[in-house]
Amino acid sequence: MEKFVKIFKISAQKELAYRSNFIMWRIRNILQIFLIFFLWDSVFSEPQKTIFSYDRPKILTYVFSLLFVRAIVLTSQATEISGQVARGDISSLLLKPVGFFKYWLTRDVSKKIINVCFAFFEGLILYLILKPQIYIQTNPIYLLLFMISLIMAFFIFYFLVMANNSIPFWVPEAAWGVNFILISVLVEFLSGAVFPLNVLPVYFQNLLSYTPFPYLVFFPIQIYLGNFSYIYAIKGIIVSGVWLFLICLLVKILWDKGLRTYQAQGS
Amino acid sequence: MDKKSLNITIPDFFQKLDLSRLSVLLKRSTSKFAQKIKYFIFNFSFIVARFRYYFELWMKMTRNSFMVLLAQKRLFFLFLIGKLLRFILFGVFLIFLVKGSGSLAGYSVNESIFFFLTYNLIDVISQFLYREVYRFRPLVVSGDLDLIMTKPYSTLFRVLLGGVDLIDFVTILPLVVLLIYFGSMLDPTFIELVYFLILTLNGLVIATAFHIAVLSLGIITYETDHVIWIYRDLTSLGRLPVDIYKQPLRAIITYLIPVGLMMSFPVRSLLGLMPFWGVAGSLVFGSLLIILSIKFWNFSVLRYRSAGS
C-alpha cells in the first residue's frame, strides 16, 4: 500500500510540476463548458420552456455537472500507455515489483483528484459569473445511486482506455490514432459529454444503450437530476456492471495476447 | 488659320506661357513617370518571381508532407475517420437540437447548419495550411530553428506553411459541396454572395494572423502547444452563431477575440444581415491584425535566443 501512496504523491507532483500546462488544460475545459452553457442558455431563453424533457434549471445543471463528471470520469493519465507500448517504453515498468494496472490506476486517481479540486473552484467562479439556476438533488437515494454510477463509470473508462492501449501491440503506428477516435470522438460525443443524449431520436438512443458510452457521463447525470425512476436507475447500474465485467475480460485477453507479441522495439 | 476666325478666345495665362519651358518640364516629368513605370515593372516582375519561387517551394514541402503521411496509411485513415465522425456527430446533434427547439437564437435549421459549415471550412483550411505551427515548439526548445533561419527563404514562411495536412485537405472539397448545397437553400443575392466570399477570405486572414501571433509567442515563451489549442477552443465558440452568447461575452468574442468576425460575419452577410460598413470594417480589422501579427513576429525573432543549440 505504501508504494502506491508514493506513486500517488509523485504523480500529483509531476502533474503540478508543469503548471502552465495544467492551467492551460483547465482553461480549455472551461472554454468548452462556455460553448455548451450558452448554447443551452439560448435554447432555453424562455424560462418556462421544456424541451427534450428538460427545463431550464435541469439543463443548466447538466452543463455544470459536466465540469465535475468529466473531471472524475474522463480525466486519465493512462492514455499515455499506448505511446509507451508503441515505443517499447513499458518494459522498465513491467520489470518493476509493482502491478502494472494498479500503478496506472493510482496515477489516474491522482490526476482525477487534482482535476476535481480545480473543477470545484472553476465551477464556483463560473457560477458567480453566469448565475445559472441550478437544480440541487436532495433525495439521498438518488445521491447514493449517483455515486455508485460514477464509480462504475470511473472503472469502465479506465478499462476502455486500457483495452485501447493494447492495440499498439499489433499496430504500433496507430497509438495516437486509436486514442483520438476513442477519447476525442466516440467517448466525447456518445457519452453525453458534449450534449445530453435525449436530444437524439429515440431509435438512436436505444441503439446507444447497447454500448458502454452512455454509462460514462449521461447516465450518472440523469440519476442526479432524478430523471430516472429508482428501478430504472438500478437496472442501468446493473447493465454498467455487466459492461465493466465484459471490458475487464476483454482487457485481460488483449493484454495477455499483446504482451506475448510485445518485442520491446526501440527500448 | 487665324485664331479669331475660329472664334476662340485664349486666356492671357496661356498667351504668356513660355512654351519652351513647358516642353522641358513635360519631358522631365515624362521621364520621371517612365522611371516610375520601369521601377514598378521591375518590382512587379521581382514580386512575381518571388511568388513563383515560394509557390514552388511550398509545392515541394507539400509533396513531402503528403508522402510522409501516405507512408502511414493506417494512421491517415484512422484520423480521417475520426475527423469525419466528429463532424457528422456534431452536425447530427445540431440538426436535432434546432429541430427540437424550433430555432437557435432566431436562426433556422439550414441557417444554423450553414454557420457550422462555414466555421468548419475556415477551421479546416487554416489547419490544412498551418499544421506546421503545431510542430514549432520543439524547433525553438532544441534550437533547431537556427537551421531554418540560415536557409535562403523566409523563416516565417517555413514555420507557418512548411507542413500541410493531407487529412484536412481531403475534407475541404466535401465541405465546399455541402456549403453550396445549404447556401443555395438560403437564396442569397449576388452581392450577398460576394460579401460572403470576401468575409470568408477575411476570416482566413484573421486565422493567419492568429497563427503568426502563436508562433511569435512561441519564440518568446517557448510555449505554443497549449496556446494553439486554446486558440482552437476559442474559435470553436464560433461553431454556432455568436448571437447565442450574452453581452459582454458576445462583444468580446466578436471584436476582442474576433471569433465572430471570422466565423459568424460571413454567414450574416450571406443572410443579408450585414451592412456595407460592417463588411468594410471587418476588412480593415483583418488587415490591421495581419500587419500587427507580422510586426509581432519581427519583434519576436529579434528576441530568439537559440537555446539548446
A176 at B interface, C-beta within 8 A: yes
B245 interaction partners in chain A (CB closer than 8 Å) = 38, 42
Q: Provide the pLDDT for residue A35.
A: 78
A44 vs B120, residue with greater confidence: B120
The C-alpha atoms of residue A38 and residue B300 are separated, in whole angstroms, by 36
B227 interaction partners in chain A (CB closer than 8 Å) = 24
Which of B244, B247, B250, B253 has the most A C-beta neighbours within 10 Å, making it the best mutation to test the interface with A?
A: B244
In a domain, residue B185? The reply is yes
Provide the mean pLDDT of chain B: 85
Chain A nearest-CA residue for B102:
A43
A21 interaction partners in chain B (CB closer than 8 Å) = 225-226
Looking at the DSSP bridge assignments, the partners of residue A51 are A54
B93 shares a domain with B218: yes
B67 shares a domain with B88: no
| Contact in structure between A181 and B85 (CB atoms under 8 Å) | yes
B66 shares a domain with B80: no
B188 shares a domain with B108: yes
Q: Provide the pLDDT for residue B197.
A: 95
Instruction: Tell me how close the Cα of A98 comes to any Cα of chain B, in angstroms.
Output: 33
The number of helix segments (H) and strand segments (E) in chain B equals 14, 0
Least confident of A16-30, B98-112, B135-149: A16-30
A52 at B interface, C-beta within 8 A: yes
B187 shares a domain with B55: no
Looking at chain A from residue 90 to 129, which residues have their Cβ under 8 Å from any Cβ of chain B? none
Counting residues of chain A whose pLDDT is more than 70, the rounded percentage is 99
In the listed set B17, B48, B71, which residue is the last one of a domain according to the structure?
A: B71
| B246–A41 CB contact, under 8 Å | yes
B75 interaction partners in chain A (CB closer than 8 Å) = 173-174, 176-177
Q: What's the mean pLDDT in A86-104?
A: 85
Q: Provide the pLDDT for residue A11.
A: 79
| Sequence-ordered alpha helix ranges (H) in A88-174 | 91-95, 100-130, 140-165
| B245–A38 CB contact, under 8 Å | yes
At residue A160 the predicted structure's pLDDT band, cuts being 50, 70 and 90, is: very high
Chain B nearest-CA residue for A37:
B245
B289 shares a domain with B167: yes
B244 at A interface, C-beta within 8 A: yes
The C-alpha atoms of residue A187 and residue B1 are separated, in whole angstroms, by 96
B1 vs A243, residue with greater confidence: A243
B213 shares a domain with B102: yes
| Contact in structure between B133 and B224 (CB atoms under 8 Å) | yes
In a domain, residue B100? The reply is yes
Looking at chain B from residue 247 to 276, which residues have their Cβ under 8 Å from any Cβ of chain A? 249
In a domain, residue B287? The reply is yes
The C-alpha atoms of residue A33 and residue A63 are separated, in whole angstroms, by 7
In a domain, residue B295? The reply is yes
B58 shares a domain with B166: no
Gap between the terminal Cα atoms of chain B? 86
For residue B13, pLDDT beyond 60:
no
List, as one string, the DSSP characters of A71-112: IIII--SGGGHHHHHHHTTTHHHHHSSS-HHHHHHHHHHHHH
Q: For B220-250, how does the pLDDT look when each residue is reduced to its tens digit (9 = 90+)?
A: 887 767 788 888 888 888 888 888 887 777 8
In the listed set B71, B97, B122, which residue is the last one of a domain according to the structure?
A: B71
Q: Into how many domains does chain B fold?
A: 2
In a domain, residue B151? The reply is yes
What is the ipTM score, two decimals? 0.83
List chain A domain ranges.
2-261
| Contact in structure between B189 and B255 (CB atoms under 8 Å) | no
For residue B7, pLDDT beyond 60:
no
B130 shares a domain with B84: yes
Instruction: Tell me how close the Cα of A247 comes to any Cα of chain B, in angstroms.
Output: 22
Most confident of A209-213, B9-13, B301-305: A209-213
Which of A199, A202, A204 has the most B C-beta neighbours within 10 Å, making it the best mutation to test the interface with B?
A: A199
Instruction: Tell me how close the Cα of B218 comes to any Cα of chain A, in angstroms.
Output: 13
For residue B29, pLDDT beyond 70:
no
Counting residues of chain B whose pLDDT is more than 90, the rounded percentage is 38
Instruction: Tell me how close the Cα of A168 comes to any Cα of chain B, in angstroms.
Output: 12
Instruction: Tell me how close the Cα of A155 comes to any Cα of chain B, in angstroms.
Output: 24
B104 at A interface, C-beta within 8 A: yes
Q: For A102-152, how does the pLDDT look when each residue is reduced to its tens digit (9 = 90+)?
A: 999 999 899 899 889 888 888 888 888 888 888 899 999 999 999 999 999
Q: What's the mean pLDDT in A203-214?
A: 91
In a domain, residue B21? The reply is no
| B72–A173 CB contact, under 8 Å | yes
- Greatest Cα pair distance in chain B: 93
Secondary structure (H, E, C), B69-84: HHCCHHHHHHHHHHHH
Domain hosting residue B53, numbered range: 37-71
In a domain, residue B179? The reply is yes
Chain B nearest-CA residue for A50:
B101
| Contact in structure between B93 and A191 (CB atoms under 8 Å) | no
Q: What's this model's pTM, rounded to 2 decimal places?
A: 0.82
B87 vs A184, residue with greater confidence: B87
| A38–B86 CB contact, under 8 Å | no
Least confident of A41-55, A122-136, B190-204: A41-55
For residue B38, pLDDT beyond 60:
yes
In a domain, residue B152? The reply is yes
For residue A205, pLDDT beyond 60:
yes
Counting residues of chain A whose pLDDT is more than 90, the rounded percentage is 35
B96 at A interface, C-beta within 8 A: yes
